[in-house]
Structure 1
Amino acid sequence: MRVLYFTESLYPHVDGVSRTLARLFAALPQRGVDFRVVSPFIPGSEVPWADRVVGVSWIAFPLYRDYRVSLPGGRRVRRLWDAFRPDLVHLVSPTPMAWWAKRRARRRGVPVVASFHTHFIAYLPYYRLRPLERLGWPVLRAFYRGCARVYAPSPSLVRELRAHGVERVGRWSRGIDAALFHPARRDPALRATLGVSDTQPLVLYVGRLVREKDIGDVVATARALRARGVAFRLAFVGEGPCRAELERALPDAIFAGYRHGEELARWFASADVFFFPSTTETFGNVVLEAMASGLPAVVSDRGGPADLVIDGRTGFVVPAHDVVGFGDRLAALLTDAGLRQRMGTAARQRAEGFEWGVVHDRLVASYRAVVRWAQRAPVPMRALAAWRA
């Protein structure tokens, strides 16, 4: 089976989408899947599948300049398509290039699947673009119309997409490297370097430092805890345009920048509580990594993280933007080492059930089912499906 991917997120750009795709691309060959990737990002030669990527022209995404948006078409992409002759096209984001690829696949009778990774509609209010929300869902419905499958990463997103009229929605979950993210990686030397004693609880946030991650709730909650006299340190792992603002608002916080691989795993395991109030997550990879590292997590009840955390057992799920509620739950954890230990152990046990191998097997099985359906469908049926797309 040959699959052609169109994605705006790929190494060396690092986010949850690019990390998920890197895992998938490493696993596909052993499952009998040949693939090519069209992207504005080109991985370095150290990436085993880098020679399968074709770069395209792009422009910077206006709301976040680190993101690139592919320009549609192009001679290199058409040549790749004709030479590779894909059995299936997978669209990762609803970009101009993806719209072009969907039309080309329709004309050539190639089935298309798509995945929902980034909740751009939920981002709009953070950039004073709330009026555009009215247009967002009709555009997404039009984009996903005619796709044989639309993959969402969490039960919450499956329900939301269906509620907004998106059809044929299925689940493509995420996994965890439970050997990499492990409580045994706790590093007293790292804590000492940060000036954090063994008895001082360390609260950790991992993610981009951007408004749509609800970092304002992190600031407000930290200040409220300080006012209550709760002892703790706060660390941010990640970068973004709001870093300077955060440094001014929380001068005693620790800012570690980007961390990857074993170094990131050390930061997770060396903390005591994970705090992630974002309401725009489609899954919450960092929440699962924190849980695998043995941390209880305090998260919002809106979005993917609420599907991962079992309230009162592996952490706490708090109503969105409820700073008082966040503070109460964090205070309970920060002042009770026994509670942290019990919830952290339960979090680790839950995270161990998210196996990448199972995730990849299920996705490839879905791919094969779509291709078989397309091959069996009579020509008039395929023409009708294409017309409806």
Structure 2
Amino acid sequence: MNDARTEDPRYDVCIALNYYAPYVSGLTEVARVLAEGLAARGRSVAVVTSRHDRSLPRRERIAGVEVFRAPVLAQVGRGVVAPGFPRLVAQVARRSRVLNLHLPMLEAAWIAARCGNVPVVSTYHIDVWVPRTLTTPLQVAAVNRSARRALARSTAVVVNSEDQARYSSQWPVIRGRPWQAISAPCVHREDGRPVHRSSDGLHVGFLGRIVEDKGIPYLVRAFRRHAAPQDRLLIGGDHQDVRGRSAVAEVRAAIGDDQRITLLGFLKGRQIADFYASIDVFALPSVAESFGIVQAEAMMAGVPCVTSDLPGGRYPVVATGFGRLAPPRDPDAIWRAVEELRDLPAEQRAVHAKEARDRFGVAACLDAYQELFDRAASGVPLGHRPASPPGSRPNGEAA
């Protein structure tokens, strides 16, 4: 690459994160939808990420977005060792009006310190969570230290919700910077077909990565203890291309020989719309969660949600009232919440679905980020914008 320090920025925004499409997670989907959405609006967007799959090109253009990938030497847990990644981010960032860092990221502090006068807008998704091992405390401490330093250098900080921010270990730093709550961009999955319905019983669904922090075995135990013979549990999500360790073995062990439970595998595009159209209640039994795009998309499709009562993860239910909260790791409480939602009238589902689409849709997210990036690039003073939801129901109860 030529010298990146040119007089005129080439990109309106450089988005930096450790993983990007085709890898799928909540964090990568936020970045992808944001990048492609801004590009579709005529903004020049670059994404800098790792080349986590060696079959991927070092540089390509995807949906109007220039994607740069740094070579990876090794994978350590959920992270990658990519020595050239920070330097590549700094090079592209210096050719951009704004750098958008997606945290947590081990390299964040180094990057934020080496981008010259380019304004840094950090999107802080969640406190780092990894399955506990002997080295976990060291990993977490290193990532948290890097996040603190990057946040302290940021022109502005974006969080998914005020609830997420205030309960974060990084709140002492975040509250000292201009910060704004912008909900993750969620896609309206419409015109789905109920292709997965196989009985006239209650159909409960989970969609997401099959990893330990999603708490799927607790949902399986809840279903097996309490569900009727005609009820069904549909579990969709990737358990092969996941960073860190897949939890599919634990999920299959929990399922045992129960024929009422189906593992659907990785779903995408129209398949996701069909999944939402096939269920009566969505369940997100996470033990760690930042927002839960899948539950917001379920709401947008007219499906109420049961979610763990965790900061950030509970926000979509609290903000809309379209669901119930349950304590993490409590199968009996999960099923009680499911039962309370199974007969929610169609009229209420429609009203809540529209509210969810208005609140969590892609357009609202793009508008907020676009305004923030423009203000940061122009040097306009930025203040705190908590965006507490009007009419929110603090107990997460459906109206």
Q: So what's the TM-score if we normalise by structure 2?
A: 0.78
The correspondence of residues 235-246 of structure 1 with structure 2, limited to 5 A, is 235-240=234-239, 241-246=246-251
Count of aligned positions? 353
How far 1:222 moved relative to its partner? 2.0
Match of 1:234 in 2: 233
For residues 55-113 of structure 1, the C-alpha deviation after alignment (integer angstroms, 9 at most, x for no partner) is 1022454324xx6453245776666456xx222211113435433321211xx222212
Change (3 A) 1:55 1:321: same
Aligned to 2:375: 369
1:160 partner letter: Y
Alpha-carbon distance, 1:263 to partner: 1.1
Counterpart selection for 2:47 from 24, 37, 40: 37
Among candidates 280, 298, 313, match of residue 290 of structure 1? 298
Q: Shift in Å at residue 274 of structure 1?
A: 0.6
**Displacement of 1:18 after TM fit?**
2.1
SS at match of 2:289: coil
The answer on whether the counterparts of 2:109 and 2:149 sit within 8 Å (CA) in structure 1 is no
- Hey, what does 2:151 align to over in structure 1? 144
Is structure 2 residue 70 aligned with structure 1 residue 63?
Answer: no
Offset at residue 245 of structure 1 (A): 2.5
- Deviation string 1:301-329 (CA, Å, 9 cap, x unpaired) is 10333111149952211223332221212
Q: Distance in 1 between matches of 2:203 and 2:338?
A: 11
Percent sequence identity over matched residues? 24
3-state SS of the aligned residue for 1:216?
helix
Structure 1 residue 118, shift from structure 2 partner? 4.1
2:67 counterpart of 1:53: yes
Letter of the aligned partner of 1:53 in structure 2? V
The superposition leaves residues 325-352 of structure 1 with CA deviations (integer Å, 9 ceiling, x where unpaired) of 2121223344xxx326455334312212
Specify whether residues 214 and 73 from structure 1 end up closer, same or farther in structure 2 by C-alpha distance, changes over 3 A only.
closer
Closer/same/farther in 2, CA of residues 361 and 331 from structure 1, 3 Å limit = closer
1:165 aligns with 2:173: yes
1:222 — aligned with what? 223
Please give the residue correspondences for 1:305-344 in structure 2 after superposition, counting only pairs within 5 Å: 305-310=313-318, 313-334=321-342, 338-339=343-344, 341=346, 344=349
Segments of structure 2 that go 5 or more residues without pairing to the other structure are 1-10, 240-245, 382-399
The answer on 1:8 being equivalent to 2:14 is: no
1:157 counterpart SS class = helix
Quote the Cα distance in structure 2 between the aligned partners of 1:139 and 1:75.
Answer: 16
2:391 corresponds in structure 1 to none
Between structure 1 and structure 2, the one with the greater Rg is 1
Aligned-residue CA RMSD (Å): 3.1
Q: Distance in 2 between matches of 1:49 and 1:346?
A: 35
**Residue 105 of structure 2 corresponds to residue 90 of structure 1:** no
Partner amino acid for 2:305?
A: A
Provide closer, same or farther for how the CA distance between residues 81 and 308 of structure 1 changes in structure 2, counting only shifts above 3 A: closer
1:355 is aligned, of 357, 361, 373, to 361
Letter in 1 for 2:340: A
Give the letter for the 1:15 counterpart.
S
Q: Using a 3 Å threshold, how does the CA distance of structure 1 residues 209 and 127 change in structure 2: closer, same or farther? A: farther
- In 1, distance between residues paired with 2:146 and 2:329? 28
Amino acid at match of 1:115: T
CA distance in 2, matches of 1:309, 1:239: 24
Q: Which amino acid aligns with 1:186?
A: R
In 2, the alpha carbon distance for the partners of 1:359 and 1:74 equals 27
Q: Looking at secondary structure, tell me which structure has more helix per residue.
A: 1
Question: What is the alpha-carbon distance in structure 1 between the residues aligned to residue 232 and residue 86 of structure 2?
Answer: 51
Of residues 162-171 and 8-17 in structure 1, the stretch that sits farther from structure 2 once superposed is: 162-171
In structure 1, distance between residues paired with 2:22 and 2:210 = 18
* 1:25 and 2:35 are equivalent in the alignment: yes
